Amino acid sequence: MPIDAAKAVAAEPRSSEISWDHKDVQLYHLGVGAGLPATDPDELRYTLESRLHVLPSFATVAGAGMALAGGLSAPGVDVNLAHVLHGGQRVEVHRPLPVKGAAVSTSKVQAVYDKGKAAVIVLRSEVADDEGPLWTSDSQIFVRGEGGFGGERGPSARTEIPARDPDRTVDRPIREDQALLYRLSGDWNPLHADPEFAKLAGFDRPILHGLCSYGMTLKAVVDTVLGGDVARVTAYSTRFAGIVFPGETLRIRMWQSPGRVQVTVAAVERDEAQVLADTIVEHS
């Protein structure tokens, strides 16, 4: 059995040291579309080291640590990488992320769910520095063809879209070179850069990283709803529902309620095909 759910969940947590500095943060911010216009004071908070703050979604790449890859090398997990998709992501922030940091990341397989024709591996990473917990990250790894082992099906609830017009709608263009820039933060999957590899995977051309769309969306919410204050974000979750290509445009709709913003994200040029779903930004 390629996935031994009991063995994977029972395995001891694995720890690694990670570190980052302002250059990593600036590169990530540029990768999710910051810096336009280049001299805009609001954008300089993402790009200029003397004014820098850290978008909480940076947690997904801090230390160039790819939580997804860590889950696929866990005991009890032996899968074909061609069958793997990033199904969802949640980051809970315990305090604002520092511009420069050194921390310990402890990861384990939190759960393995049986979806019938597929399995979902939930990998949890808890990151702390000398001052205490920084963030907790849950990655949902969807593995086609690995279900049917008799395990729990797991949660499947969907977030209902409010029956009213969104409070905010913004469009965010994706540069032609954005995937090439974003991958410098640590995700070297050729699906996002190599046209021939993308064709083998069934796409006409390279697609944008799901976590890049994830970062772009959080930046849009922070900038338009939270007054540009990254420290107000307490948690951010999404389900990756579809793809988007470099050169296309993300349409980001936001519904505000006390302590949270519900979001949908679609690709404008392809009849608003869904990109992110069940997306919630929790805030103070």
Which residue, among 88, 145, 95, 135, has the nearest Cα to 111 in the 3D structure?
A: 88
Question: Residues 135-159, buried b or exposed e (16+ Cβ, 10 A)?
Answer: bbbbbbbbbeebbeeebeeeeeeee
Q: Please identify which of the residues 192, 209, 223, 283 carries the catalytic annotation.
A: 192
3-state SS, one letter per residue, for the chain? CCECHHHHHHCCCEEEEEEECHHHHHHHHHHCCCCCCCCCHHHHHHHCHHHCCCCHHHHHCHHHCCHHHHHHCCCCECCCHHHEEEEEEEEEECCCCCCCEEEEEEEEEEEEEECCCEEEEEEEEEEEECCEEEEEEEEEEEEECCCCCCCCCCCCCCCCCCCCCCCEEEEEECCCCHHHHHHHHCCCCHHHCCHHHHHHCCCCCCCCCHHHHHHHHHHHHHHHCCCCCHHHEEEEEEEECCCCCCCCEEEEEEEEECCEEEEEEEEHHHCCEEEEEEEEEEEC
Residue 187: active-site member: yes
Residue 209: active-site member: no
Q: Please identify which of the residues 187, 209, 278, 283 carries the catalytic annotation.
A: 187
Q: What is the CA radius of gyration of the chain?
A: 18
Residues labelled catalytic? 187, 192
